[in-house]
Structure 1
Protein backbone atom coordinates (compact mmCIF):
# COMPACT_ATOMS: atom_id res chain seq x y z
CA UNK A 1 0.00 0.00 0.00
CA UNK A 2 1.31 3.45 -0.90
CA UNK A 3 2.29 5.78 1.92
CA UNK A 4 0.56 9.14 1.88
CA UNK A 5 2.80 11.86 3.33
CA UNK A 6 0.04 13.71 5.14
CA UNK A 7 -1.10 10.49 6.81
CA UNK A 8 2.42 10.06 8.24
CA UNK A 9 2.29 13.49 9.94
CA UNK A 10 1.49 13.33 13.66
CA UNK A 11 -1.45 15.73 13.73
CA UNK A 12 -1.43 15.74 17.54
CA UNK A 13 2.01 17.40 17.67
CA UNK A 14 1.76 20.19 15.10
CA UNK A 15 1.02 23.74 16.18
CA UNK A 16 -1.02 25.74 13.67
CA UNK A 17 -0.90 28.15 11.98
CA UNK A 18 2.19 27.16 10.00
CA UNK A 19 3.58 26.39 6.57
CA UNK A 20 5.73 23.32 5.93
CA UNK A 21 7.20 21.53 2.96
CA UNK A 22 5.07 18.39 2.61
CA UNK A 23 7.09 17.03 -0.30
CA UNK A 24 9.56 17.79 -3.04
CA UNK A 25 9.54 15.87 -6.33
CA UNK A 26 12.31 15.90 -8.93
CA UNK A 27 11.98 14.27 -12.34
CA UNK A 28 14.74 12.90 -14.55
CA UNK A 29 14.92 16.18 -16.50
CA UNK A 30 15.63 18.10 -13.28
CA UNK A 31 12.26 19.79 -12.86
CA UNK A 32 11.24 20.35 -9.24
CA UNK A 33 7.75 20.59 -7.77
CA UNK A 34 7.08 21.30 -4.09
CA UNK A 35 3.95 20.60 -2.09
CA UNK A 36 3.28 22.87 0.89
CA UNK A 37 0.97 22.35 3.83
CA UNK A 38 -0.59 25.75 4.62
CA UNK A 39 -2.20 24.93 7.96
CA UNK A 40 -4.46 27.69 9.22
CA UNK A 41 -6.25 25.92 12.08
CA UNK A 42 -5.23 23.35 14.66
CA UNK A 43 -6.07 19.82 13.47
CA UNK A 44 -8.82 18.03 15.37
CA UNK A 45 -9.64 21.22 17.26
CA UNK A 46 -11.23 23.51 14.69
CA UNK A 47 -12.26 23.49 11.03
CA UNK A 48 -13.12 26.17 8.51
CA UNK A 49 -16.82 26.28 7.61
CA UNK A 50 -17.25 25.39 3.94
CA UNK A 51 -18.27 28.89 2.84
CA UNK A 52 -15.20 30.45 4.50
CA UNK A 53 -12.95 27.72 3.11
CA UNK A 54 -14.36 28.18 -0.38
CA UNK A 55 -13.94 31.95 -0.30
CA UNK A 56 -10.40 31.67 1.05
CA UNK A 57 -9.64 29.20 -1.73
CA UNK A 58 -10.69 31.76 -4.36
CA UNK A 59 -8.76 34.56 -2.67
CA UNK A 60 -5.59 32.53 -2.07
CA UNK A 61 -5.69 31.15 -5.62
CA UNK A 62 -5.74 34.72 -6.91
CA UNK A 63 -3.58 36.65 -4.46
CA UNK A 64 -0.85 34.07 -3.76
CA UNK A 65 -0.08 33.93 -7.48
CA UNK A 66 0.81 37.62 -7.25
CA UNK A 67 3.31 36.85 -4.46
CA UNK A 68 4.89 33.51 -5.40
CA UNK A 69 6.06 32.58 -8.90
CA UNK A 70 5.19 29.19 -10.35
CA UNK A 71 2.06 28.23 -8.44
CA UNK A 72 0.41 25.20 -10.02
CA UNK A 73 -2.52 24.76 -7.63
CA UNK A 74 -3.97 25.71 -4.26
CA UNK A 75 -6.49 23.22 -2.90
CA UNK A 76 -8.40 22.97 0.37
CA UNK A 77 -7.64 20.08 2.71
CA UNK A 78 -10.49 17.67 3.23
CA UNK A 79 -10.21 18.17 7.00
CA UNK A 80 -10.85 21.90 6.38
CA UNK A 81 -7.90 23.06 8.50
CA UNK A 82 -5.90 24.56 5.64
CA UNK A 83 -4.73 24.27 2.06
CA UNK A 84 -2.18 22.47 -0.08
CA UNK A 85 -0.01 24.60 -2.31
CA UNK A 86 1.69 22.96 -5.32
CA UNK A 87 4.48 25.07 -6.79
CA UNK A 88 7.33 24.76 -9.29
CA UNK A 89 10.91 24.93 -7.97
CA UNK A 90 12.08 25.06 -4.38
CA UNK A 91 10.97 27.82 -2.04
CA UNK A 92 11.96 28.54 1.53
CA UNK A 93 9.20 27.97 4.09
CA UNK A 94 9.87 31.45 5.50
CA UNK A 95 9.17 32.99 2.06
CA UNK A 96 5.92 31.04 1.74
CA UNK A 97 4.90 32.06 5.28
CA UNK A 98 5.64 35.72 4.49
CA UNK A 99 3.62 35.54 1.26
CA UNK A 100 0.68 33.88 3.05
CA UNK A 101 0.78 36.54 5.77
CA UNK A 102 0.74 39.30 3.15
CA UNK A 103 -2.16 37.66 1.32
CA UNK A 104 -4.24 37.18 4.48
CA UNK A 105 -3.76 40.89 5.24
CA UNK A 106 -5.04 41.61 1.74
CA UNK A 107 -8.06 39.37 2.41
CA UNK A 108 -8.99 41.71 5.28
CA UNK A 109 -9.15 44.60 2.80
CA UNK A 110 -11.02 42.69 0.09
CA UNK A 111 -14.46 43.87 -0.92
CA UNK A 112 -15.28 41.33 -3.64
CA UNK A 113 -14.46 37.66 -4.20
CA UNK A 114 -13.19 36.70 -7.66
CA UNK A 115 -14.94 34.08 -9.79
CA UNK A 116 -18.23 33.66 -7.94
CA UNK A 117 -20.67 33.29 -10.81
CA UNK A 118 -22.28 30.07 -12.04
CA UNK A 119 -20.05 30.34 -15.10
CA UNK A 120 -16.80 30.51 -13.10
CA UNK A 121 -17.50 28.40 -10.01
CA UNK A 122 -19.01 24.98 -9.39
CA UNK A 123 -20.71 26.04 -6.14
CA UNK A 124 -20.97 29.80 -6.50
CA UNK A 125 -23.66 30.22 -3.83
CA UNK A 126 -21.45 28.79 -1.05
CA UNK A 127 -19.18 31.73 -0.17
CA UNK A 128 -18.72 33.97 2.85
CA UNK A 129 -16.34 36.89 2.61
CA UNK A 130 -17.27 37.85 6.18
CA UNK A 131 -16.24 34.42 7.52
CA UNK A 132 -13.08 34.35 5.37
CA UNK A 133 -12.05 37.67 6.89
CA UNK A 134 -12.77 36.46 10.42
CA UNK A 135 -10.57 33.39 9.98
CA UNK A 136 -7.84 35.42 8.25
CA UNK A 137 -7.88 37.70 11.31
CA UNK A 138 -7.53 34.74 13.70
CA UNK A 139 -4.59 33.32 11.75
CA UNK A 140 -2.84 36.69 11.53
CA UNK A 141 -3.29 37.29 15.26
CA UNK A 142 -1.72 33.90 16.02
CA UNK A 143 1.12 34.43 13.53
CA UNK A 144 2.20 31.98 10.83
CA UNK A 145 5.23 29.88 11.69
CA UNK A 146 7.55 28.18 9.21
CA UNK A 147 8.01 25.34 11.73
CA UNK A 148 4.97 23.13 12.36
CA UNK A 149 6.21 21.99 15.77
CA UNK A 150 6.91 25.32 17.48
CA UNK A 151 4.73 28.33 18.17
CA UNK A 152 5.98 31.78 17.17
Structure 2
Protein backbone atom coordinates (compact mmCIF):
# COMPACT_ATOMS: atom_id res chain seq x y z
CA UNK A 1 0.00 0.00 0.00
CA UNK A 2 1.50 3.37 -1.00
CA UNK A 3 2.04 5.67 1.93
CA UNK A 4 2.63 9.01 0.22
CA UNK A 5 0.09 11.81 0.54
CA UNK A 6 -0.81 11.78 -3.16
CA UNK A 7 -2.12 8.23 -3.06
CA UNK A 8 -5.87 7.82 -3.40
CA UNK A 9 -5.87 4.34 -1.87
CA UNK A 10 -7.74 4.10 1.42
CA UNK A 11 -7.54 1.21 3.85
CA UNK A 12 -10.97 1.00 5.42
CA UNK A 13 -9.71 -1.21 8.26
CA UNK A 14 -7.50 1.69 9.40
CA UNK A 15 -10.62 3.85 9.80
CA UNK A 16 -12.00 1.27 12.28
CA UNK A 17 -15.51 1.39 10.87
CA UNK A 18 -17.91 -1.51 11.25
CA UNK A 19 -18.00 -3.80 8.22
CA UNK A 20 -20.57 -2.58 5.65
CA UNK A 21 -20.49 1.07 6.73
CA UNK A 22 -20.86 3.24 3.60
CA UNK A 23 -17.86 5.48 3.05
CA UNK A 24 -17.65 8.37 0.62
CA UNK A 25 -14.07 8.86 -0.50
CA UNK A 26 -13.40 12.25 -2.05
CA UNK A 27 -9.96 12.82 -3.55
CA UNK A 28 -8.46 16.12 -2.46
CA UNK A 29 -6.08 17.96 -4.76
CA UNK A 30 -3.41 19.66 -2.75
CA UNK A 31 -1.92 22.84 -4.17
CA UNK A 32 1.62 21.45 -4.01
CA UNK A 33 0.71 18.12 -5.62
CA UNK A 34 2.34 17.33 -8.94
CA UNK A 35 -0.37 16.89 -11.55
CA UNK A 36 -0.55 13.98 -13.93
CA UNK A 37 0.96 14.95 -17.29
CA UNK A 38 -1.67 16.23 -19.69
CA UNK A 39 -1.69 16.42 -23.49
CA UNK A 40 -1.79 20.22 -23.65
CA UNK A 41 1.65 21.62 -22.83
CA UNK A 42 0.41 24.75 -21.06
CA UNK A 43 -1.76 22.63 -18.75
CA UNK A 44 1.49 21.14 -17.42
CA UNK A 45 2.92 24.58 -16.65
CA UNK A 46 2.48 25.77 -13.07
CA UNK A 47 0.99 29.17 -13.82
CA UNK A 48 1.62 30.23 -10.20
CA UNK A 49 5.38 29.90 -10.69
CA UNK A 50 5.84 32.09 -13.77
CA UNK A 51 6.66 35.80 -13.80
CA UNK A 52 5.17 37.71 -16.72
CA UNK A 53 6.11 39.33 -18.97
CA UNK A 54 8.14 36.62 -20.67
CA UNK A 55 8.68 34.67 -23.88
CA UNK A 56 9.31 30.94 -23.75
CA UNK A 57 9.33 27.98 -26.09
CA UNK A 58 6.08 26.18 -25.35
CA UNK A 59 6.58 23.35 -27.83
CA UNK A 60 8.98 22.05 -30.42
CA UNK A 61 8.08 19.42 -33.01
CA UNK A 62 10.22 17.90 -35.74
CA UNK A 63 8.08 17.10 -38.77
CA UNK A 64 8.57 13.94 -40.87
CA UNK A 65 10.35 15.98 -43.57
CA UNK A 66 12.85 17.32 -41.03
CA UNK A 67 11.46 20.84 -40.53
CA UNK A 68 11.07 22.01 -36.93
CA UNK A 69 8.01 23.84 -35.63
CA UNK A 70 8.66 26.07 -32.62
CA UNK A 71 5.69 27.44 -30.66
CA UNK A 72 6.28 30.46 -28.43
CA UNK A 73 4.31 31.45 -25.34
CA UNK A 74 4.38 35.27 -25.34
CA UNK A 75 2.98 36.15 -21.93
CA UNK A 76 1.97 39.80 -21.47
CA UNK A 77 0.30 39.64 -18.04
CA UNK A 78 0.65 37.58 -14.88
CA UNK A 79 -1.67 34.54 -15.03
CA UNK A 80 -4.60 34.59 -12.60
CA UNK A 81 -3.67 38.12 -11.55
CA UNK A 82 -4.19 40.32 -14.60
CA UNK A 83 -5.40 40.02 -18.17
CA UNK A 84 -5.66 42.05 -21.34
CA UNK A 85 -9.09 43.33 -22.30
CA UNK A 86 -10.56 41.56 -25.32
CA UNK A 87 -10.39 44.52 -27.75
CA UNK A 88 -6.69 44.87 -26.86
CA UNK A 89 -6.07 41.14 -27.39
CA UNK A 90 -7.94 41.23 -30.69
CA UNK A 91 -5.98 44.23 -31.93
CA UNK A 92 -2.58 42.83 -30.93
CA UNK A 93 -3.51 39.64 -32.75
CA UNK A 94 -4.34 41.52 -35.98
CA UNK A 95 -1.35 43.85 -35.74
CA UNK A 96 1.14 41.10 -34.92
CA UNK A 97 -0.18 38.60 -37.45
CA UNK A 98 0.13 41.24 -40.18
CA UNK A 99 3.32 43.08 -39.17
CA UNK A 100 5.41 40.12 -38.00
CA UNK A 101 5.21 38.72 -41.53
CA UNK A 102 7.04 41.84 -42.73
CA UNK A 103 10.04 40.64 -40.69
CA UNK A 104 9.97 36.90 -41.41
CA UNK A 105 8.45 34.35 -43.75
CA UNK A 106 8.73 31.75 -40.98
CA UNK A 107 5.65 32.79 -38.99
CA UNK A 108 2.93 30.19 -39.42
CA UNK A 109 0.38 31.53 -36.94
CA UNK A 110 -0.07 34.21 -34.29
CA UNK A 111 -2.97 33.46 -31.94
CA UNK A 112 -4.38 34.81 -28.67
CA UNK A 113 -4.62 32.74 -25.51
CA UNK A 114 -8.16 32.19 -24.30
CA UNK A 115 -7.15 33.37 -20.82
CA UNK A 116 -6.28 36.76 -22.33
CA UNK A 117 -2.82 36.84 -20.75
CA UNK A 118 -0.79 36.47 -23.93
CA UNK A 119 -0.31 34.93 -27.35
CA UNK A 120 1.16 31.97 -29.17
CA UNK A 121 3.43 32.35 -32.18
CA UNK A 122 3.97 29.20 -34.23
CA UNK A 123 7.14 29.43 -36.30
CA UNK A 124 9.08 27.34 -38.75
CA UNK A 125 12.39 26.80 -36.97
CA UNK A 126 12.86 30.30 -35.53
CA UNK A 127 15.17 29.88 -32.54
CA UNK A 128 14.93 32.45 -29.72
CA UNK A 129 17.99 34.44 -30.84
CA UNK A 130 16.19 35.11 -34.15
CA UNK A 131 12.62 35.26 -32.82
CA UNK A 132 13.18 37.83 -30.05
CA UNK A 133 14.38 40.59 -32.43
CA UNK A 134 11.47 39.83 -34.79
CA UNK A 135 9.01 40.13 -31.90
CA UNK A 136 10.65 43.36 -30.76
CA UNK A 137 10.43 44.84 -34.28
CA UNK A 138 6.78 43.78 -34.50
CA UNK A 139 5.94 45.46 -31.20
CA UNK A 140 7.65 48.63 -32.41
CA UNK A 141 5.51 48.41 -35.55
CA UNK A 142 2.46 48.32 -33.27
CA UNK A 143 3.67 51.49 -31.52
CA UNK A 144 3.99 53.21 -34.90
CA UNK A 145 0.72 51.93 -36.36
CA UNK A 146 -2.03 54.35 -37.31
CA UNK A 147 -4.75 51.71 -37.58
CA UNK A 148 -5.49 48.07 -36.79
CA UNK A 149 -5.29 46.05 -40.02
CA UNK A 150 -8.51 44.39 -41.19
CA UNK A 151 -10.57 45.91 -38.35
CA UNK A 152 -13.77 46.00 -40.37
CA UNK A 153 -16.84 43.86 -41.01
CA UNK A 154 -15.58 42.55 -44.34
CA UNK A 155 -12.23 41.18 -43.11
CA UNK A 156 -12.97 40.41 -39.44
CA UNK A 157 -15.63 38.48 -37.57
CA UNK A 158 -15.99 41.27 -34.99
CA UNK A 159 -14.61 44.35 -36.70
CA UNK A 160 -15.83 46.76 -34.03
CA UNK A 161 -13.97 44.93 -31.23
CA UNK A 162 -10.60 46.69 -31.55
CA UNK A 163 -8.53 49.33 -29.82
CA UNK A 164 -5.30 50.61 -31.35
CA UNK A 165 -4.61 52.61 -28.19
CA UNK A 166 -5.01 49.52 -25.99
CA UNK A 167 -2.72 47.47 -28.23
CA UNK A 168 -0.11 50.22 -28.21
CA UNK A 169 -0.22 50.57 -24.42
CA UNK A 170 0.23 46.81 -23.95
CA UNK A 171 3.04 46.69 -26.54
CA UNK A 172 4.80 49.63 -24.87
CA UNK A 173 4.65 47.91 -21.46
CA UNK A 174 5.86 44.59 -22.90
CA UNK A 175 8.75 46.30 -24.71
CA UNK A 176 9.74 48.13 -21.51
CA UNK A 177 10.43 44.71 -19.97
CA UNK A 178 12.55 43.52 -22.95
CA UNK A 179 15.48 42.55 -20.71
CA UNK A 180 13.20 40.22 -18.72
CA UNK A 181 11.66 38.26 -21.61
CA UNK A 182 13.89 35.21 -21.13
CA UNK A 183 13.19 35.04 -17.37
CA UNK A 184 10.11 32.79 -17.16
CA UNK A 185 9.98 31.57 -13.57
CA UNK A 186 9.54 33.84 -10.57
TM-score with structure 1 length normalisation? 0.90
Q: Quick one: which of 156, 169, 178 aligns to 1:134?
A: 169
Aligned twin of 2:87: 51
Q: Is 1:6–2:42 an aligned residue pair?
A: yes
CA separation of 1:13/1:68 partners in 2, compared to 1, >3 Å: closer, same or farther? Answer: farther
Q: Which runs of 5+ in 1 are unaligned?
A: none
Q: Is 1:105–2:117 an aligned residue pair?
A: no
Name the SS for the 2:108 alignment partner.
strand
Which is bigger in relative contact order (C-alpha 8 A, separation at least 6)? 1
Superposition RMSD in Å: 1.7
Q: Is 1:33–2:69 an aligned residue pair?
A: yes
Q: How much does 1:17 deviate?
A: 1.4
Aligned twin of 1:68: 104
Instruction: Report which of the two structures shows the higher radius of gyration computed on alpha carbons.
Output: 2
Superposed structure 1 runs of 4+ greater than 4 Å apart: none
Q: Which runs of 5+ in 2 are unaligned?
A: 1-36
Name the SS for the 1:68 alignment partner.
coil
1:58-117 Cα deviation digits (max 9, x unpaired): 00001111223311111000010110111112x222332222222212211111111112
TM-score with structure 2 length normalisation? 0.74
Give the count of matched residue pairs: 149
Aligned twin of 2:52: 16
Name the SS for the 2:147 alignment partner.
coil
- Give the stretch that moved more between structures: 16-25 or 93-102: 93-102
